[in-house]
Each structure stands twice: as C-alpha cells, then as structure tokens.
C-alpha cells in the first residue's frame, strides 16, 4: 500500500472552535436550516469572521425562513465561545444562469472531485490524519466532560510519523487565563497525548530557544499562552481547511470546499460519492488503497471522466474502473437521491464541518456497498 503513503508523513487538524472551522460550521448551519424547511434549497454561502464581526455573503434560493444572524450567534455559543459577535449579511438569489443548469439536473458547478480510502485503520483513513483528528477530539472531550475544565474551544494538533511510527506531536490548546503553563503542559501530556497515544513516550520541549531539549518529541503551546481564541483573537473563512476536511496532505484533493454548499454543488456531493466508492473498494478487498476521481462540467449531468487508481497494476485499475462505471450512477441527482442529501437522518450538515467530512459512520457516504 505505497500509492499515497510516504516514508515521512505529517498531518494537522483543528478543533471545532478554530476560527476557520467556526466559519465552516456557520456556513453549514445555514445549509442545514434551509434544507430542513425546503429540501430543494439552493445554497452557496461564504462566512468570514474575526474580531467580533461575522459577515455572510452568497446566494440562496429557498422557501425556508430563518434569521441568519440569530442562527449564527447561537452556533457560536454552542461551539463554546462566549464573547459577543455582530453578524452582517449580503445574500441574494442564485444566479439564473447557474440555476438553469441545475434545473435540468446538471451539475451545479464544474470541477474535479476525489474520494480516497486505505486499509489499516478502522475508518479506512490515513492513520496520521486519524491521530491528528483524535487529538483534537480528545481536547474537546476533556473540556466538555470537565476533565480539564480550563480548556476553551480553539485548538490545533499536528502529528508526524516515520515508517508508520509516531515521532512528533504538536498541540495548541486554548485555555483560561488562570491556569499556569507547567500545569497545562503536564495535563495535556497525560490526558490528551497519553490517552490517544499510550505507547508514545512524551518528552516535552521547553519551548525556550536558549534551552532546547535535544530529545524532545512533543510541543504543547509553543508560544506559552493561548488565552485569546476564536474570533476574539483571529479571523477565519469558509473552506480554508480543505486538507483537514479531506485526507491530509499526502492525498490530492479536487480543490472545491464543501461547507456552505447544498448538494447540487458536485464539489460536495461528487466527493462524497467518490469516498463511498473508494471505501467500498478497500472494504471489499478489491485493493488495499483506492483513489476515485470524477470531473463535471457545469449544467451537464454526465461526468466528463471517472477514474479509479489503486495499488494494483494498471490493467487491473482499468478493469475496476469499467466495473465502477457499470454499477454506479454519477449523475448529480442520482447521487443526491442515493445518499439522501436533501433529507439528512441521523446527521447534520454542521456535523460534517466539525471534524472532517470522512471517517464518521453516521454519514451515508461511509456506508459501503458490494462491488460487483
């Protein structure tokens, strides 16, 4: 399984309170609210926030009625940030030139979408990506469950692996002002890093350039303090964490972000469908690693191309591609109906923006099918 895996691999992740992730969640909260009332809503939202102000701009054609400002203020509060924000909006109807293409069941945009899966982890995601995400999820768990009550919502992680072994961990954890740095680093080393990586022997870096620790393998809050966070400290925007949302830096992505878009936008629905197929290939043991790609032209239902790459020889990949084309309908409307993207059950669009769009079995594109 060497197709996308390298000798040295690094992946980062961010918590749900990171400014970029907050913007993603806000954009997808709007998508979810519109689709809940009107499943055929057309939504394309961009959210930018920072320093107390959130601005929403984009297009929405829907029968749904809701207060965007109130919705986003509530989302921000639920994420765990407690400082006030003002919300401004500039939202218009979907452009008729785009709408006419979608109305005839064509793709809502052009682009290339990818889906990936690899054996070796229960989620069939790259292990280094999984570990980086789990560290961020553990930060949230420790905050939500009172294990480390001084933690706040913002944060980041980064994991480096060499030949499949973790060699370095970086954490940045948003915290209350009254916690001292020594306590914070000790607690995070024990309750976060130690919990996620029990076999990893933590050696904390002093974060002092004048007194470096030669064998240090862990950096926790390298700037010492992380008291200000979220929009109080930084700015964010929808779609900036594309690699986090996908599979990490070793796997190519199509380039279009997911959040803020209804499923007629194939850069979302098409990518989800490719993940379903790639995961089905690997789970079905047709290959140990799979990358599925599809391309669309705006307003056209039939994809411009479909390809399947695996760790198998080229002739086997060609044969597998033909089987995929015979079994799966790549037309946008067929994808929407198959994955029930206009009628979410057991998941919300906001959930996809919280901690990556893949590896969560609640999402329908994670439910594999038999490849015939």
SS (H, E, C) 291-311: EEEEEECECCCCCCEEEEEEC
**What pLDDT score does 112 carry?**
94
- Give the mean model confidence (pLDDT) for residues 80-92: 94
Lowest mean pLDDT among 1-5, 110-114, 253-257: 1-5
Query: Using alpha carbons only, how large is the chain's radius of gyration in Å?
Result: 21
Q: Catalytic residue at 252?
A: no
pLDDT digits (tens, 9 = 90+) for 115-143: 999 999 999 999 999 999 999 999 999 99
Report the pLDDT value the prediction gives residue 368, as an integer from 0 to 100: 96
Q: What's residue 96's pLDDT?
A: 74
- Catalytic residue check, 40: no
First to last CA, the chain: 23
Same fold, 8-14+127-230 and 19-99: yes
Q: Across 279-369, where does the E strand assignment appear?
A: 289-296, 305-310
Weakest mean pLDDT among 202-206, 264-268, 355-359: 202-206
Is 262 one of the annotated active-site residues of the chain?
A: no
pLDDT of residue 101: 64
pLDDT at 163 exceeding the cut of 60: yes
> pLDDT tens-digit profile of 16-74?
999 999 999 999 999 999 999 999 999 999 999 999 999 999 999 999 999 999 999 99
Q: Is the pLDDT of residue 2 over 60?
A: no
Quote the pTM value.
0.94
Q: Is 302 a catalytic residue?
A: no
What pLDDT sits at residue 99? 63
Active site residue 210: no
pLDDT tens column, 295-346: 999 888 899 999 999 999 999 999 999 999 999 999 999 999 999 999 999 9
Q: Quick check: is 127 catalytic? A: no
Range 8-14+127-230 classified under CATH 3.30.300.10: yes
* Residue 213 pLDDT class (50, 70, 90 cuts): confident
* 21 catalytic per annotation: yes
Q: Where are the domains of the chain?
A: 8-14+127-230, 19-99, 111-122+263-366
Catalytic residue, chosen from 138, 240, 268, 350, is 240
Given the residues 36, 234, 337, 351, select the one marked as catalytic.
234
Catalytic annotation present for 59: yes
Q: Which residue has the higher pLDDT, 94 or 18?
A: 18
User: Which whole number is the average pLDDT over 159-181?
Assistant: 95
Average of per-residue pLDDT across 259-263? 96
Is 372 a residue of the active site? no
**330 assigned to active site:** no
Catalytic residue, from 143, 174, 265, 279: name it: 265
pLDDT at 256: 87
Q: Measured between alpha carbons, how far is 197 from 223 in angstroms, rounded to an integer?
A: 23
Q: What is the mean pLDDT of the chain?
A: 93
Q: Quick one: pLDDT at residue 91? A: 94
Predicted local distance difference test score (pLDDT) of residue 95: 72
Q: Which position among 64, 119, 233, 235 bears the catalytic label?
A: 235
The domain defined by 19-99 carries CATH number 3.30.300.10:
yes
Name the DSSP class of 231: G
**pLDDT band (50, 70, 90) for residue 1:** very low
Say what the pLDDT of residue 299 is. Answer: 85
In order of 2, 185, 267, 278, 368, the CA distances from 205 in angstroms are 32, 10, 41, 40, 43
pLDDT of residue 103: 64
46 belongs to the catalytic site: yes
Question: Catalytic annotation on 267?
Answer: yes
The structural architecture, per CATH, of the domain 111-122+263-366 is 2-Layer Sandwich (3.30)
Is 15:234 a contact under the CB 8 Å cutoff?
A: no
Distance CA(50)–CA(18), nearest Å, equals: 11
To the query of whether residue 305 is one of the catalytic residues in this protein, the response is no
């Amino acid at each position: 399984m060497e197709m996308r895996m390298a000798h040295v691999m690094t992946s980062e992740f961010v918590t749900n309170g990171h400014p970029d992730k907050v913007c993603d969640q806000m954009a997808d909260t709007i998508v979810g609210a519109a689709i809940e009332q009107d499943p055929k809503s057309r939504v394309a939202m961009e959210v930018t926030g920072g320093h107390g102000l959130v601005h929403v701009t984009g297009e929405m054609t829907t029968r749904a009625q809701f207060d965007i400002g109130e919705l986003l203020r509530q989302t921000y509060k639920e994420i765990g940030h407690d400082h006030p924000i003002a919300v401004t909006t500039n939202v218009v109807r979907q452009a008729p030139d785009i709408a006419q293409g979608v109305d005839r069941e064509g793709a809502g945009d052009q682009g290339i979408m990818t889906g990936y899966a690899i054996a070796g982890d229960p989620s069939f995601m790259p292990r280094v990506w999984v570990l980086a995400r789990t560290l961020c999820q553990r930060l949230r768990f420790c905050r939500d469950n009172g294990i480390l009550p001084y933690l706040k919502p913002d944060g980041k992680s980064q994991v480096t692996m060499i030949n499949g072994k973790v060699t370095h961990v970086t954490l940045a954890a948003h915290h209350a002002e009254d916690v001292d740095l020594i306590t914070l680093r000790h607690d995070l080393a024990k309750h976060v890093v130690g919990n996620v990586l029990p076999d990893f022997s933590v050696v904390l870096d002093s974060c002092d350039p004048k007194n470096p620790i030669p064998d240090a393998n862990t950096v926790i809050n390298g700037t010492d303090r992380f008291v200000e966070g979220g929009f109080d400290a930084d700015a964010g925007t929808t779609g900036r964490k594309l690699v986090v949302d996908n599979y990490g830096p070793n796997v190519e992505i199509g380039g279009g972000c997911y959040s803020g878009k209804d499923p007629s936008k194939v850069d979302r629905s098409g990518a989800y469908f490719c993940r379903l197929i790639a995961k089905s290939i690997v789970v079905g043991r047709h290959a140990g690693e799979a990358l599925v790609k599809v391309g669309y032209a705006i307003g056209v239902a039939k994809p411009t191309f479909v390809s399947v790459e695996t760790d198998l020889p080229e002739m086997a990949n060609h044969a597998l591609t033909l089987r995929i084309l015979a079994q799966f309908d790549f037309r946008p409307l067929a994808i929407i109906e198959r994955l029930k993207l206009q009628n979410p059950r057991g998941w919300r669009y906001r959930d996809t923006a919280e901690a990556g769009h893949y590896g969560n079995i609640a999402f329908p594109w994670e439910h594999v099918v038999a490849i015939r």
